[in-house]
Amino acid sequence: MSRLLTRFSKLVVLSYIIDWAVIIATALVGYAFSKVTPNHNPFSLADLSISYPYQANETVTTGTLALVAVMAPAVIILVGSFLLVPGAAVEGNGSRSQMWRRKLWEWNAGWLGLGVALAGAFLTVQGLKDLIGKPRPDFLARCDPDLSKIKTYTVSGLGTELSGAPTLVTWEICRNKTSMVKGDGFASFPSGHACFSFAGMTYLTLWLCSKLQIAFPYLPYYSSRPGYLSKTEADTQSNSLPRSSSSAWRLAIRSQGAAPPVYMLIVALVPLGTASFIAASRWYNHRHHGFDILFGTALGIFFAWIGFKWYHLPIRRGAGWSWGARSRKNAFFKAVGFPSPVGDDNWSSRGGVRQPEDIENGDAIPGLAQSSGTRGVDI
């Protein structure tokens, strides 16, 4: 293993160590936010939305959430990277050490994307909880308000002057002044369980779809394979052919793709179903309002998408691989005057095709020698 590491460019390795440092620092900032006392919005004692009973036992605890959203995807990615990489099509392509470099790189890329998704979700959701300070649906049950001091803690509303008008009071009216009220009681928006579970599970779904080639059949407008036409060319050719030739051509087009087995669809959807159950449990445990859960879900999916796209090729054209590593000259940044950091002139060593021998020269840590046809189409 030490011989393999000596072939890596030190600058490239350092750049990915910095990636990990940024991810860990982001998570630590999120943890610090979780210890901050949130803002305390005033509330009405007649508000039905915060009058639900308090359930001491949660269906999905924080420990279970960490196990499902963090540990499970991390273990599956680790095992999958060593079992599925480099793949039967290229199993004999290269030396044994090169095969292990590919496995290690896919593992690193898989965990980096997962780290981006989870750390970004954690930081954002904890920061928003502190900033918004929205009472939970079971807040009044936690609070145990002292009804004899309503006038003392009234801060707004016309309830004391106009019959039927609302009266807003501060949290000091609560007899229970522990952290379950002062801190956790005002942490309803957004749902951390929904955000974190969908960040980890959506990322895992995308990763499984990539590695197991689970995708809808499609006809690309262009490909590295011969015989593909643009849509306009295909329509023109179809209309100009005799009926018998046109039928044969359409049959040939149909043979280019097929739907994966249905059980593969189940594999892809199980993580999303798990995340949906966790998010739904926050509703019937009276921990979050509906919009809190929906917003947390959207945040989780958003960060999962960012984490996956940052390190992995598009599912339908990426052959299951992640992007290769940055090059030595582009390990940290690209200066003014360089081409766009996307497309053929990007952070790679050559711009475009990556070759396994790049690592021998200390230029990169490649995922695989990729054909030019693995680019150009989004998920």
Q: How far is residue 351's CA from residue 344's CA, in Å, rounded to a whole number? A: 5
Would the pLDDT of 117 be above 90? yes
Would the pLDDT of 373 be above 70? no
Cα–Cα distances in angstroms (integers) from residue 205 to residues 214, 261, 265, 332, 349, in the given order = 10, 16, 10, 30, 30
Taking only the tens place, the pLDDT of each residue in 322-372 is 988 887 877 787 766 666 555 555 666 544 444 333 333 333 334 333 333
Task: Please tell me the predicted confidence (pLDDT) of residue 332.
Answer: 82
Q: How far is residue 124's CA from residue 131's CA, in Å, rounded to a whole number? A: 11
Task: Please tell me the predicted confidence (pLDDT) of residue 59.
Answer: 95
Task: Please tell me the predicted confidence (pLDDT) of residue 242.
Answer: 57
Average pLDDT, the chain: 81
Which of 176-190, 216-230, 256-270 ranks highest by mean pLDDT?
Answer: 176-190
Structure tokens at 276: 């949906």
- As to burial, measured by CB atoms within 10 angstroms (0-12 exposed, 13-18 middle, 19+ buried), residue 365 is buried
What is the longest distance spanned by two Cα atoms in the chain? 90
First to last CA, the chain: 35
